[in-house]
Chains A and B, each alone.
Chain A
Amino acid sequence: MLAELINPYYLQVLSFILINIILGISIYITLSTGQLSLGHAGFMGIGAYTSAIVTINYDLPLIVGILLGAIVAGLTGILIGLPTLRLQGVYLAIATLGFGEVVRVLFINWEGMTQGAVGISSIPHIGRELVTGLRDTGFTADMIGIRSNQLISVLVFLILLVVTILLISFFVRQHRSRVGRAFAAIKMDESAAEAMGINITYYKVLAFAQGALVAGFAGALYAHITAYISPSDFSYHRAVEILIFAVFGGSEVIAGPIFGAIFLTSMPELLRDVSEYRYMIYGVILVAMMAFRPQGLIDYNMIHKLKRLRKKKDQKTIDEKESKRHDIGS
């Protein structure tokens, strides 16, 4: 029964969707202070390469590697963020674009560490490592009646799911906290926020570094799921793709980039016929969204409406119950 239910293909697609959700969150955080970054592919690459290199060359455990990848990307975010955040709007976007390209060229030329354009292969795979680990403790896939590749896919998927949910819940909480309100104030009007006593530099660097950290984290996960990375995985196109998640889904609420990532990642899987036009469609989406709905598909209003709708429904059912009770009573 279980063996027939678990199909590694769907789990694989879901795993990539989850990684893209994490990437979508990373750009959402940066955007939540009104900063546009085109350097997220660079941060993702830093996370991926750091984790791959330390786990292969220094035999560090996977979890340490992934965390290290995220931290190094986050630190780079602070390093890049501090000076560049003096820049605003388009200047920042282009500086980060330049940063992303420099990172890629560095990966290509720093052959001793990164093996250049050939890329790093046989990176330890999260699922395979875990299954080998479990086997040592005496647990095998047969014991629950599934094949070992099914177990691998399930484990990868579950880990990613838990991680993603934790990240989402953290940032939902942050959004409601003092930090989240500061972010929103800065996005609305920087000068006004400053006049209200918000430390703009601190919060902007914080948002930028958080975005970089999360992108690096996603990159590290990516490296340990595909088991192979090369510099071309972290090019300008990747940065644009990440940006599209937020632009399409919406960058006002966290549900926006999540929806964007889910929809845009599953779209080519569901509609393989149109995949030839996939990038043309991406282009059209960007233009159309900016013209008709610059805040993205999902925005505050929509969430509010949904909530009100639900409340109304709840109210209705309560009313109905009440009236029924009255009927019985009368």
Chain B
Amino acid sequence: MLLEQLINGLTLGSIYAIVALGYTLVFGVLGIINMAHGEIFMFGAFMGVVVTHTLQLPLALAFLVAIAVTAMLGLFLELIALRPLRGKKGVSHLAPLISTIGVSIFLENLAHHFFGAGNRPFNTSFSQLSIQIGSVTIYAVQLVIFAIAILLMISLSFWLSKTKAGKALRACAENLEAASLLGVNTKKMIMLTVIIASVIGGIAGVLVGMAFNSVTPQMGLSMGLKGLAIIILGGMGSVRGAMVGGLILGLSETMIVVFGESGYRDAIAFIAIIIILLVRPQGLFGQPVTEARR
């Protein structure tokens, strides 16, 4: 049983990690927290529902549609809620936070309007596939989720450290003005970042739908808050931190059910936020915060 629970924890943790990757990417480059990330994730999940259930089309298409739609949402987010605030005099550093909260409220209620408040089922035979090892059942979905999480992390790390675009992105993260002076098209880079982050969220959405068969307009909020907790735990802007933080949270949420009080399951993430901020504000893998960054 413990082994099964470990697998459960790893699956959940991988999903958390993928969601957190989106947060960490945006924070790493722009230094802002995108509170609408959870809702973009939710829209990705709903696209999966629309494709597999409403239109009865194959799962692969669901991923494509989710990627396309969340990329669009990312673009809108950047154009409407983030760009107008950038470089404006007298705008506090809290402005993007509030403005993305606005987007998140809007998207959540938009989903209510379009898809209704109820739970929408996913329709895919893929989620039934499983392998039996001894007394333990492992589902193909669980393996896929784990693999995608690892794959995303590795390719993101590689892309950031080895490719030209990735280097430009890191230059933006280091200092926006300097990067711009050195010939990096910062506008484009920022837009690219927000879109990639949103797409990662969309993929996570489809994966959650596949794994748990549960898609509601409210799922964005709870997943979004968990994602926030993870990047604080792992260190803001750190890809490795997002991954490790996600797995830690997934495993500890599962373990608290195994050993103790399932009622406090939701609180772990937030208690972790508070403790880590007090003890090690930069997170497990993060660099100490510099004054200029805030």
Q: Is A274 an interface residue, CB under 8 A from the partner?
A: no
Interface band, chain A: 35 or more
Smallest CB separation, B82 vs chain A (Å): 10
Q: Could you say which of A98, A99, A282, A294 contacts B105, with CB atoms under 8 Å apart?
A: A282
Q: When each residue 84-97 of chain B gets 1 if its CB lies under 8 Å from chain A and 0 otherwise, what string results?
A: 11001011111111
Note all chain A residues with C-beta closer than 8 A to B113: 280
Q: How far is the CA of A101 from the CA of B266 in the complex (A)?
A: 9
A88 contacts B294, CB within 8 Å? yes
Chain B residue with Cβ nearest A95: B277
Would A89 and B94 be within 8 Å (CB), given that A94-B33, A101-B270, A108-B263 are in contact? yes
Q: When each residue 76-115 of chain B gets 1 if its CB lies under 8 Å from chain A and 0 otherwise, what string results?
A: 0000110011001011111111110111111111100100
Q: How far is the CA of A90 from the CA of B96 in the complex (A)?
A: 10
Note all chain B residues with C-beta closer than 8 A to A247: 98
Q: Is A283 an interface residue, CB under 8 A from the partner?
A: yes
Q: Is A93 an interface residue, CB under 8 A from the partner?
A: yes
Chain A residue with Cβ nearest B278: A83
Note all chain B residues with C-beta closer than 8 A to A91: 232, 277, 281, 289
Q: Could you say which of A89, A98, A236 contacts B294, with CB atoms under 8 Å apart?
A: A89
Would A36 and B105 be within 8 Å (CB), given that A94-B33, A287-B81 are in contact? no
Q: Please, how many residues of chain B have a CB less than 8 angstroms from a CB on the other chain?
A: 49
A294 contacts B33, CB within 8 Å? no
Q: Is B264 an interface residue, CB under 8 A from the partner?
A: yes
18 A-B pairs within 8 Å (CB atoms) are namely A83-B278, A88-B289, A89-B94, A90-B33, A90-B294, A98-B271, A99-B270, A101-B270, A191-B291, A236-B221, A240-B101, A280-B110, A283-B107, A286-B98, A286-B101, A289-B98, A290-B95, A294-B92
Residue positions of B touching A, CB distance < 8 A: 32-33, 80-81, 84-85, 88, 90-99, 101-110, 113, 221, 225, 228-229, 232, 261, 263-264, 266-267, 269-271, 273-274, 277-278, 281, 289, 291, 294
Residue positions of A touching B, CB distance < 8 A: 34, 36, 83-84, 86-91, 93-95, 97-99, 101-102, 105-106, 108-109, 191, 236, 240, 243, 247, 277, 279-280, 282-292, 294-295
